[in-house]
Amino acid sequence: MLYLVGLGLSDETDITVKGLEAVKRASRVYLEAYTSILLVDQSTLETYYGRSITVADREMVESNSDEILRGAKEEDVAFLVVGDPFGATTHTDLVLRARELGVPVRTIPNASILSAIGATGLQLYNFGQTVSMVFFLDNWRPTSFYDRIKENRSIGLHTLVLLDIKVKEQSLENMARGRKIYEPPRYMTVGTCAKQMLEVEEEKGEGVYGLESLAIGAARVGGKTEKFVAGTLQELCDADDLLGPPLHSLVLLGRRTHELEYEFVREFAINRHTWDRVWEADYKGKQS
pTM: 0.91
| pLDDT the model gives residue 170 | 56
SS3 state of residue 210? coil
SS3 state of residue 67? helix
| pLDDT the model gives residue 211 | 97
| pLDDT the model gives residue 89 | 65
| pLDDT the model gives residue 181 | 62
Q: Give the dihedral sign, CA 37/42/48/53.
A: positive
User: Nearest 5°: phi and psi at 118?
Assistant: -60, -15
Give the Cα separation of 196 and 135 in Å (integer). 8
Q: How does strand 2-6 pair with strand 54-56? A: unpaired
| Amino acid (one-letter) located at 76 | D
Q: Contact, 117 vs 253, CB < 8 A?
A: no
10-residue block means of pLDDT along the chain (288 residues)? Answer: 94 96 96 81 93 86 85 95 81 90 96 95 96 92 95 96 80 63 81 98 96 97 95 98 96 94 96 95 77
| pLDDT the model gives residue 87 | 79
| pLDDT the model gives residue 11 | 92
| pLDDT the model gives residue 51 | 93
> Which whole-number Å values give the CA distances from 157 to 52, 57, 64, 126, 128, in the listed order?
44, 35, 40, 5, 5
Half-sphere exposure of 211 (CA within 13 A, CB side): 3
| pLDDT the model gives residue 228 | 98
Burial group, residue 209, by CB count within 10 angstroms (0-12, 13-18, 19+): buried
